[in-house]
Structure 1
Amino acid sequence: MIPVLRINYIGRLIWLSLFGRWIFVLLVPWFVPTISYLLIGDPYFSSVSNFLLGTLMVLFMTILAFVPHDWAAQYIAHKYPAVQSSGKRAFYTALAFCVLTGIYISVYGLLIIHLRPFNAQLDFGKMVNVYLFEFVAVLMLTCLYEVNYSLGKWKESKINKEAMKKAGLQGQLQSLKSQVNPHFLFNSLNTLSALITEEPKRAEQFVDEMAKVYRYLLQTNQHELTTLATEIRFIKSYYHLLRTRYDTGLELKIWVEEEALGKFIPPLTLQLLVENAVKHNTILEKNPLFIEITALGGEYLEVRNNLLEKSTPVKSTRLGLANIEAKYQLLSDRQPVIEAGAGYFKVLLPLLAEKTENQ
Structure 2
Amino acid sequence: MRIIRFHSGRIALINVAANLVSVGIDESTYSMKKWRENRLEKEQLEKINIQSQLESLKNQVNPHFLFNSLNSLSSLIDDEPEKAEQFVDEMAKVYRYLLQTNEDVLTTLDTELGFIQSYYHLLKTRYGAGIQLTVDVPAQDRDYQIPPLTLQMLVENAVKHNVIHADKPLQIDIETTETGQLLVRNNRQRRAGGRITSNKVGLSNIAAKYRLLAQTDPIVSSDDAHFTVSLPLLKPVRV
**TM-score of the pair, normalised by structure 2:** 0.81
Preserved contact between residue 168 and residue 221 of structure 1 (Cα < 8 Å): no
**Any idea what SS the aligned residue of 1:297 has?**
coil
Deviation by residue 1:82-130 (Cα, 9 ceiling, x = unmatched): xxxxxxxxxxxxxxxxxxxxxxxxxxxxxxxxxxxxxxxxxxxxxxxxx
Aligned twin of 2:139: 258
Aligned partners of 2:61 and 2:98 also within 8 Å = no
Pairwise CA distance, 1:277:
0.4
1:342, distance to aligned residue in structure 2 (A): 2.1
Is the Cα contact below 8 Å between 1:303 and 1:347 reproduced in 2? yes
Aligned to 2:222: 340
Pick from 144, 160, 168: which aligns with 1:287? 168
Aligned pairs for 1:130-209 within 5 A = 160=42, 163=44, 165-209=46-90
Q: What percent of counterpart residues are identical?
A: 49
Q: What corresponds to 2:178 in structure 1?
A: 297
1:214-258 deviation line (CA, Å, top 9, x unaligned): 112112132222221121111111111111111111001111122
Q: Distance in 2 between matches of 1:51 and 1:230?
A: 77
Instruction: Tell which has more relative contact order, 1 or 2 (C-alpha 8 A, sep 6+).
Output: 2
CA deviation vs aligned residue, 1:43-86 (integer Å, no higher than 9, x gap): xxxx9x9589437427627967x97x9xxxx9xxxxxxxxxxxx
Q: Which sections of structure 1, spanning at least 5 residues, go unmatched?
A: 1-46, 75-147
Q: Check the 8 A contact 1:169/1:221 in 2, yes or no.
A: no
Q: Which has the higher helix share?
A: 1
Contact 1:171 1:323 (C-alpha < 8 Å) held by counterparts? yes
Structure 2 gap segments, 5+ residues each: none
2:120 alignment partner in structure 1: 239
Alignment check: 8 A CA contact 2:174 2:184 kept: yes
Match status 1:350 vs 2:206: no
Asked if the contact 1:260–1:298 (Cα under 8 Å) also holds between the matched residues in 2, the reply is no
* Number of equivalenced pairs: 228
Structure 1 residue aligned with 2:13, among 57, 69, 73? Answer: 57
2:91 and 2:124 map into 1 onto residues whose CA distance is 12
| CA-to-aligned-CA distance 1:148-178 (integer Å, 9 cap, x gap) | 99xx69x958973x55554344333333333
Give the CA RMSD over aligned residues. 3.3
Normalised TM-score (structure 1): 0.55
Give the residue type in structure 2 aligned to 1:296. Answer: T
Bigger strand fraction: 2
